[in-house]
Amino acid sequence: MGMGTRRARRGLAADIGAICLGDGWVRFRVWAPGCRRVEVEIVHPESRRVALRPTAGGYFAASLQGQAGLRYFYILDGQARRPDPASRALPEGVHGPSEAVDTTAFAWTDAGWRGMPLRDMVIYELHIGTFTPEGTFEAVIPRLPQLRDLGVTAVELMPVASFPGWRNWGYDGVGLFAPQRTYGGPAGLRRLVDACHANGLAVVLDVVYNHLGPEGSYLAEFGPYFTDRYTTPWGQAINYDGEDSRGARDFVIANALHWIREYHIDSLRLDAIHGIFDGSPVHILRELNDAVQRLARRLGRAVPVVAESDLNDRRVIDPVRKGGYGLSGQWSDDFHHCIHTLLTGERSGYYADFGSLRQLAKAYTDGFVYDGQHSTFRGRPHGTPTGDVPAERFVVCAQNHDQVGNRAQGERLQSLVDFEALKLAASAVLVSPFVPLLFMGQEYGERAPFLFFSDFGDPGLQAAVSRGRREEFAAFGWTGEVPDPQNPSSFARSKLNWSLRTEYPYRWLFEFYRTLLSLRRQYPVLGIGGKRRLQVREADDRTLLVFRRGENGTAALAVLRFAPEGRAVRLRVPPGPWRRLADSSEERFGGLGAKSPVLIPMPRGGWAEVEIGPYAAVIYLREAVATATVQAQIIESVAPDAAVPSAA
């Protein structure tokens, strides 16, 4: 196949769906190589039925007179009546007619917005349906100034592609091009993105390219979108490398470009790429990212693509020149698991592989903990080394939708540990050199669970989902209640209570998060990057020292205590003075009072003693030094063989 043909097919894929041409015409195009004949049936504002003409590559197309708001179905081989796989809107649900949308009608106000590189992001993950009482795109907008003032720079939306019913996490989407109607549809999403940009916030969108559905997924009737060669836990795998897979690949790439071009989305988070299977010479993840970056260059914007994966495979984020896929970053589950096990003591499931402070130290310095050694949970070696991978390629957290919602009771960390440990978890994430992510409500200790919920209409599927949820946790020895995902109460119980952030003790935790995020902005040594200038070591089996060097001799030292009792930590530090920026035990953060010294003079370096409370964190800063001589002493004193800082 020549380059011209490939370009032609990509051009066909780029404008699939119903495209309003702006002159009283609508162009329809669909990939349906499994059909001999495809017709478009207009059902609103009038009724008519017109055959599409077959074109190259298995596509069918036609242009008809019509306007935005026109509703239609495709008729496959004179029988099946189906919504458009690339519907821009599904106003009556995933089984109803598609609606043509004028993508040029919205008056954007973000002409000067240039996106945001991943390294500049402090990500706030939220679910549209439970973030506010209203559960809509519009209802998020009044909250944006509060997120900005907290120190958030990017809002990550859990999937918003159309799903069956009224409530869902979003990972069961089937209308990949159509924002969910109950959230506010296309117009609501555009208004939210525009408002985010007006507040200086980037928008990350979670997209699902490992499966569709199951309910409302009709793509298999159009052509070979799926394959039986691989299996996923969630549904049929997408056909990325089998016979006639070009159309399925182009469909997914077109969807990624659609969010960026038509909705001004700033970044894509690819869900569970370990469920994306592709043995092609050029992996679909590389091809998708290449297409996104070409579009980003044409638009003059930064559009990082980030993956979620449990493979610990550096190829995802390695540059193409090194044989990688070239993505901007990926989530590090290992970092979360280290913090969670140290704070909760849990060791079931994949937590069996974690629990030591030494592992957390490795997560700080490397990114992955498992980089080739044996995993007890998997029963085999796991992961690849990442010590040389820049810190800005990793997204880390203490909570996210998966780690909360995939518990039987949907408990947040707030329900599992005490108040001081919540502040320690915040510190562990925000003194790291990685891109931090917060899960909605985490910043003030939201009490509501985040349960798994769905609203399938098929009775058989309803029963299967409810039964499967119970059986899943029973297999792990869980004997307690498992809330029914189909019960509307599971959704209602998961909504945030925004009034808590102004009450105590929640207000103290909120102030602690805001303080740490402010310190990251104010002092670059506490911000993103700098793995090569990072040292982490254990002061004892429950106390971790995180030492970071910045420019011009600036440095920061964090002492993290993962134990229910405090202690005096004796450590050797480079020349000072070292000024305390924050102690999680301070009364302003709801603690009993800090005992750590406000200032450690140390004009020539040496031994110092820091009193640290139970489950506490203390952060010190050394300002820039004046002379090259002192700078040389500092560089020498923090060399790895000098074991600085160290405990007696």
Backbone angle region of 644, left / alpha / beta, with phi > 0 → left and psi within -120 to 50 → alpha: beta
Which residues make Cβ contacts (< 8 Å) with residue 220, sequence separation at least 6? Answer: 34, 226, 236
CB 544 within 8 A of CB 569: no
Asked if residue 410 lies in contact with residue 400, where contact means CB atoms within 8 angstroms, the answer is no
Element (H, E) at 358: helix 357-366
What is d(CA 11, CA 270) in angstroms, rounded to the nearest whole number? 23
Q: Which residue has the tokens 């003079």?
A: 601
Place of tokens 């990624």: 256
3-state secondary structure of 2: coil
The encoded tokens of residue 113 equal 């917005």
Beta strands in 302-385 (DSSP E): 305-307, 329-331, 374-375, 380-381
Q: Among residues 308, 313, 334, 446, which one is catalytic?
A: 308
On the question of a cis peptide bond just before residue 233, with omega within 30 degrees of 0, the verdict is no
Residues with Cβ within 8 Å of 197's Cβ and at least 6 positions away in sequence, in order, are 109, 110, 113, 203, 264
Is the separation of the CB atoms in 132 and 499 below 8 Å?
Answer: no
> Residue 452: helix, strand or coil by DSSP?
coil
Sequence-ordered list of residues with C-beta below 8 angstroms from that of 397, at least 6 positions apart, any chain? 331, 335, 336, 403, 429, 436, 437, 438, 439
What's the rounded Cα separation, in Å, for the pair 299 and 305? 16
Q: Which residues are registered as beta bridge partners of 25?
A: 65
Among 271, 334, 371, 455, the active-site one is 271
Q: What are residue 469's phi and psi, to 5 degrees?
A: -65, -45
Give yes or no: 271 in active site. yes
Q: Are 457 and 445 in contact (CB under 8 A)?
A: no
Place of tokens 């979003």: 170
Give catalytic residue positions. Answer: 271, 308
